[in-house]
Chains A and B, each alone.
Chain A
């Protein structure tokens, strides 16, 4: 099956720091791929390049076979959560969703609005100004923003941050349903137990480099948990780097 998200030899340097180094991987339709790595591994830098927010020094990104650049039309097919939630604080949650949707010249409402609002579960708070929202409410509203367009590609940076266990479960079920419907899902997360329940594939990064890539079951091998397998991979890579 062809990869919907394709990163090919991506490199990115910020000043003296090499954030990402010749990173290649792909996510096919129906897959839920978890991008894992310690803090500073280059996960967010990679995700920024995947959605055109950052220009790779070398390499390229393709989504559905189309090269990605800043503001590329193919991004209409992508639901994005990156660098945390961000809204216009003096506008309501509903007004924020509407403004972010119509900014791209689309007519309101988006196709998956009802389902996305159900998942967000904000109730009457959707009509309150965002500056009064808790961190969890902002995260849920941002997830609604990413999901309301019914994307066939999802790129979500730490989507479960600030969510309670019931909300995490609802998000997991929603992402699994999207993948079952043919979407390619890429998430980054530090919550390895959650990832083990959700992901079908893994991309593990350390120090900007690819450590391992493949199906979750293959990468788990004899390790009982993803946590054990992940820590073994990172420690092995650190030792090799020394």
Chain B
């Protein structure tokens, strides 16, 4: 059943276009900063300022740039489609009489959404790394205002950042998957998921609504950036807890929706 979800969704023109769009961002950014290779990017600080120093610098800067909006939108597209496409096409009834149980169907959708999230994140990282190696070369990870990271420090922090971002995007996939099962059509689920990301990002920027923002997964998505800052990272532990909470809530919601809905209603 997992193979069914993967072959019907991942090997699709729209999925490939979405992944190419994701991969194009690090490539385009690398080309635009090519003249600054080995030097600071203008007067910018943080990962953006250090991006021309090495392939990994460029990769992580690309992730910071793409993480707040484009990556969650692509993840939402993939997850909402995985949740709703079989119903949109009408083949859900033929899966149930194949027969496939609700539990197997949900497990396949969860697995496919998780794998699609991994693929989307990997597209950004791979494109950033390849473009970075070609344009900026392979050098030690540079941090503005601090010494270059050792190989061990670089590996640890990059893995932590990627793992944290993956968890954040899994929360986004969970939200889109829930909406895809709940709403009548996949297009509606995608629209609501994108509206959620945009509205949550706006709310997150309003200091007067801090009490609301801290409950939203979006609030914690950039906390990993501190791993590459002399001041260090903060709030990642709470971020992990909030993302896990959203993932657990979404999985429970998906199961409840599938269990209670009459597929012929």
Binding site for B on A (CB under 8 A): 14, 45, 48, 51-55, 70-73, 75-76, 78, 80, 82-84, 86-91, 95, 99-105, 145
Contact = CB atoms under 8 A, between A and B. Distances in A.
B89 A88 contact: yes
Given A86-B91, A99-B4, A14 B265 contact: yes
Contact of A103 (B90, B95, B263): B95
A14 B12 CA distance: 37
Interface residues of B, number: 26
B93 A83 contact: yes
B96 A70 contact: yes
The 6 closest A-B pairs by CB, nearest first: A86-B90, A71-B101, A75-B99, A54-B264, A104-B98, A80-B97
Given A48-B264, A70-B102, A87-B91, A53 B13 contact: no
Given A52-B97, A54-B262, A71-B99, 17 more contacts: A14-B265, A52-B96, A52-B99, A53-B97, A53-B264, A70-B102, A71-B102, A71-B104, A76-B99, A78-B97, A86-B93, A87-B91, A88-B8, A89-B89, A99-B4, A99-B8, A100-B95
A145 B102 contact: no
5 contacts: A52-B97, A53-B263, A55-B262, A83-B93, A103-B1
A80 B1 contact: no
Interface of B: 1, 3-4, 7-8, 12-13, 89-91, 93-102, 104-105, 262-265
Given A71-B102, A75-B97, A102 B91 contact: no
B90 to A, nearest CB: 3
Given A83-B90, A90-B12, A103 B262 contact: no
Contact of A87 (B89, B98, B99): B89
A31 B264 CA distance: 27
A2 to B, nearest CB: 22
Contacts, number: 79
Contact of B3 (A78, A89, A102): A102
Contacts of B13: 90
Contacts of A54: 262-265
Contacts of B263: 53-54, 70
Contacts of B90: 83-84, 86
A53 B91 contact: no
A177 B99 CA distance: 25
Nearest to A54: B264
A84 B91 CA distance: 10
Contacts of B104: 71
A45 B263 CA distance: 12
Contacts of A45: 264
A87 B90 CA distance: 7
Contact of B100 (A80, A82, A103): A103
B164 to A, nearest CB: 34
A86 B43 CA distance: 57
Contacts of A83: 90, 93
A70 B97 CA distance: 8
Nearest to B7: A99
Contacts of A95: 7
Contacts of A55: 262
Contacts of A71: 96, 99-102, 104-105
A76 B98 CA distance: 6
Contacts of B105: 71
Given A48-B264, A54-B265, A91-B8, A73 B96 contact: no
B13 to A, nearest CB: 7
Nearest to B99: A75
Given A48-B264, A99-B7, A102-B3, A53 B101 contact: no
A98 B101 CA distance: 18
